[in-house]
Amino acid sequence: MDAQSSGTLQSPSTFSGSSKTGSSRSGVSSAGDQDFTKDNAASPIDLECHIQAERITKILDGAVYKTKLALCLPNLVQEYRTLSSILSSQHMEDLVFIFEQYDNPLFSSSLLNMAAMEDIQSGDISLKNRLNPELGHLMYIMNSYPALRPIVEEMIQEMKIEYAEFGETRQQVSGLDYLLTLEHFRELMVRQMETTAAEELAAKFNTRKLEASNDNLLAKIKEYTETLKDENERFEETMKMKSAMIAKLEKELAMLNQEADVKLKKKILDSDRQMVLSTRAHIVKNEMLKEEEMESKENYENLLRTHLIDEKNQRARRFKVETQLLSWLQKYDLEMGDKQVDLDDYTEKYEDELHKCEELEEKLAEQDKEYIPLMAEREAEYHQEMTEKMNKFLLEHAARVIQNAWREVLANRAEKKRLKKLQKKMQAAAAAAEKKGGKK
């Protein structure tokens, strides 16, 4: 026991050397060039924040190292020479005893459990009968020796390299995944503690500006898209009208040619007797039809030329609008590609803050379990006190009402007596007056 206690006293704190380095690094980055040992170097709040940040960093570093030590435990127990060269003899004896307990269930303290004994006798030596609380003592012993730290770090580095070499085809290792997550959580905590309130406020303002700019650009893109769609619809309607007009004119021209041919043939057949007159008439008529045909062709060519010019202008305008829209889309993609990274960082920070808020809400809920019954008891006492005061007030008020009513009764009685005396005096005076009148 003396050797064990001496080994424990001589060992450094459970916090790792990397925790000191990480905490000092975070302290330097958060405090800058300030010297907290001098007066007026920083406010008490800043000094307290620095101390708390360093304490949290040390706790996280300690947890990370203990996790690494737990992951390397299966490999360390095989390095007997390495352990015997670092650990004391008393601790080595403790470790050997713990190894024997863990490897051989017959030496396990679980023999005290009759159910476990029956399982062992029946041949069941599963993990549930091999668990031993002495493993916690083993972790404590190995954590108290700083000389094991480089070996543990080297083993963890080899595990990470092997884990990274498999890439996407690797199988999930829960322990190593937990370690990587815990290290990432420590980096996020250090980064969050180094971030000032002004930086967080500036980040929020920048996010809001980016959101407003994004909304404006989306609104413009939507507006230009609708404009382009309307112009395309109008252009298609115009082309349909022009095509219908061209088909109509061609149909009319074909009908005119057909009618002219029919009339010409009919008149030729009917002009046997009047060939000379009919020939002249047909020549004149034919010339007139040719002139009309030439005029119709000229009108058709002019109208077609005008329509082609309009179509060319519409196509040029459409190409210009599409080119401008593509340039805006490229500009939008470039800007949003750079800002998406910032948005992802802000999202991660928001999720961390949300996780902290949820933890605080859980703590408040635990406090409410004690606070609500106390407040209910206080409310009941207050209600009882107020009820007693109200009853006392009602009694005093009833007494005052009864006393006032009794005083009024006494006053009414006295008034009635006085009226009776006065009535008797008036009757006596009236009787005396009647007697004097009778004598006269």
User: Of the candidates 129, 144, 25, 135, which has an alpha carbon nearest to the alpha carbon of residue 83?
Assistant: 144
Q: Which residue has the tokens 């005076």?
A: 429
User: Of the candidates 26, 50, 21, which has an alpha carbon nearest to the alpha carbon of residue 37?
Assistant: 50
Tokens (6 digits) for 119: 């399982």
pTM of the model: 0.36
Tokens (6 digits) for 49: 């924040």
- Pick out the chain residues at pLDDT < 70: 1-42, 101-134, 166-173, 271-272, 278, 438-440
What digits encode the pLDDT tens for the residues 323-380? 888 888 888 888 777 778 888 888 888 888 888 888 888 888 888 888 888 888 888 8
Q: Which pLDDT belongs to residue 7?
A: 33
Q: Which amino acid is at 159?
A: M
Residue 71 in contact with residue 174, Cβ under 8 Å?
Answer: no
Q: Which pLDDT belongs to residue 173?
A: 66
Angle among Cα 147, 153, 154 to the nearest 5 degrees reads 100
Q: Could you tell me which residues come within 8 angstroms of residue 35 by beta carbon, excluding any fewer than 6 positions away?
A: 41
Which three-class secondary structure state does DSSP give residue 69?
helix
Q: Which pLDDT belongs to residue 116?
A: 52
User: Of the candidates 142, 183, 186, which has an alpha carbon nearest to the alpha carbon of residue 159?
Assistant: 183
Q: What is the dihedral of CA 213, 214, 218, 223, to 10 degrees?
A: 0
CA distance 341 to 207: 12
In terms of residues, how long is the chain?
440
